[in-house]
C-alpha cells in the first residue's frame, strides 16, 4: 500500500495535477471570509469545509454537495458523523469488560456500524459511477480513477478489489481532513496571540508578492519565514504527530 501511495496517489506529479482544485477552493474560502468580514467568522468551520471539499474533489472528482444517494443519506453528513463518533469517548476502549455492558446502553458501536454501512454503500455508488464507460471525465484523473486503473492492471503482487478502493478512500478522508484543518486553525490562533510574528509574516508576504492580488503556489519557495512558522506549528500541534 505504501508503494501505491508514493508512486501513484501522492507523487509530485499527481499532487501537482490537483493544483486547480486547491486554488479554486482556497479562493472560495477567502471570498467567503471577505463577504462575512462585518460579522464574527468561525475559522474552524471555514477550514473544515475547505479540507472536506478539497479531499472529496481530489478523491471522487466532485464534492457531491447536497446530493442524496440511492442508499439514502448525504455524503458530507455521514463523513462528519463518522469523524465525530470515532473521536468520541469510548468506555469500551478503556475498560473492555465493563465497557461491553455500558456500550449496550450507549449504543455507540451500533451507531458507528450503521454510519459506516451507509458510507460503504455511498462510496460503492461513487466507484460504480466512475466505472461507467459513458461517464464524462474531468480535467484531471482523480483518486478513484487511479485506483480503478490499478485494479485493471493488478499493480505489482497486490490483488486489488473494490473493497480496497473504498478502504483507501475512507483512510484518506479520515486521516487528512480533520488533522489538516486543526493544524491550520492552531497556526492562525498562534499568530493572533503573537502579533510580532504575524507582522513579520505579513511583511514577508507583501514583500515577495509585490503588487499581485494574491499569493500563488509559485511564491511559496520565497516565503522562508512563513515556512518556519508552519513547521513550528506542526511541532507544537498534537494532531500533526499522527
Q: What is the pLDDT of residues 95-107, one digit of tens each?
A: 777 666 676 667 7
Domains present along the chain, CATH in parentheses:
2-193 (1.10.630.10), 194-242 (no CATH)
Contact 79/52 with Cβ under 8 angstroms? yes
DSSP state of 220: G
Alpha helices in the chain (DSSP H): 2-4, 12-17, 19-35, 43-60, 75-86, 91-94, 96-106, 108-131, 143-153, 162-193, 195-209, 224-236
Contact 200/226 with Cβ under 8 angstroms? no
Contact 179/239 with Cβ under 8 angstroms? yes
Q: How many CB atoms lie within 10 A of CB 187?
A: 19
Return the half-sphere exposure (C-beta side, CA atoms, 13 A cut-off) of residue 9: 20
Distance from the Cα of residue 77 to its chain's centroid: 14
Residue 156 to residue 3: CA distance in whole angstroms: 10
**Confidence band for 242, pLDDT divided at 50, 70 and 90:** very low
Q: For residue 99, what pLDDT is reported?
A: 64
Between the CA of residue 96 and those of 107, 114, 208, 230, what are the distances in Å?
15, 21, 56, 39
Between the CA of residue 184 and those of 63, 91, 190, 242, what are the distances in Å?
21, 30, 10, 15
Between the CA of residue 121 and those of 21, 167, 185, what are the distances in Å?
26, 12, 32
List, in order, residues 6 or more apart from 235 with CB less than 8 Å away: none
Using only the alpha carbons of the chain, give its radius of gyration: 21
Report the run of H or E that residue 116 belongs to, with start and end. helix 108-131
Q: For residue 205, what pLDDT is reported?
A: 92
Q: For residue 239, what pLDDT is reported?
A: 59
Q: What is the pLDDT of residues 101-158, one digit of tens each?
A: 676 667 777 787 888 888 888 888 888 888 888 777 777 889 999 888 888 877 566 6
Look up the pTM and report it.
0.81
- Paired with 74 in beta bridges are 68
Q: What is the pLDDT of residues 23-72, one digit of tens each?
A: 999 999 999 999 988 889 899 889 988 998 999 899 988 887 766 666 55
Amino acid at each position: 500500500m505504501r508503494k501505491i501511495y508514493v508512486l501513484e496517489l501522492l507523487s509530485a506529479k499527481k499532487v501537482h495535477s490537483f493544483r486547480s482544485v486547491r486554488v479554486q477552493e482556497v479562493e472560495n474560502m477567502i471570498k467567503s471570509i471577505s463577504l462575512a468580514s462585518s460579522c464574527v467568522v468561525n475559522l474552524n468551520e471555514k477550514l473544515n469545509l475547505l479540507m472536506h471539499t478539497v479531499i472529496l474533489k481530489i478523491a471522487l472528482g466532485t464534492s457531491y454537495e447536497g446530493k442524496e444517494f440511492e442508499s439514502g443519506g448525504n455524503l458530507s453528513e455521514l463523513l462528519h458523523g463518522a469523524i465525530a463518533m470515532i473521536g468520541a469517548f469510548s468506555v469500551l476502549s478503556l475498560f473492555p469488560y465493563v465497557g461491553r455492558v455500558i456500550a449496550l446502553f450507549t449504543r455507540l458501536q451500533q451507531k458507528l456500524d450503521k454510519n459506516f454501512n451507509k458510507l460503504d454503500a455511498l462510496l460503492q455508488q461513487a466507484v460504480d459511477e466512475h466505472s461507467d464507460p459513458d461517464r464524462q471525465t474531468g480535467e484531471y484523473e482523480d483518486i478513484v480513477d487511479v485506483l480503478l486503473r490499478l485494479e485493471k492492471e493488478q499493480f505489482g503482487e497486490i490483488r486489488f478489489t473494490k473493497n480496497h478502493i473504498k478502504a483507501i478512500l475512507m483512510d484518506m478522508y479520515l486521516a487528512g481532513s480533520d488533522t489538516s484543518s486543526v493544524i491550520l486553525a492552531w497556526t492562525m490562533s498562534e499568530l493572533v496571540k503573537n502579533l510580532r510574528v504575524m507582522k513579520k509574516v505579513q511583511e514577508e508576504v507583501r514583500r515577495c508578492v509585490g503588487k499581485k492580488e494574491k499569493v500563488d503556489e509559485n511564491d511559496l519557495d520565497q516565503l522562508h519565514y512563513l515556512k518556519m512558522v508552519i513547521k513550528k506549528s506542526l511541532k507544537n500541534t498534537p494532531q500533526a504527530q499522527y
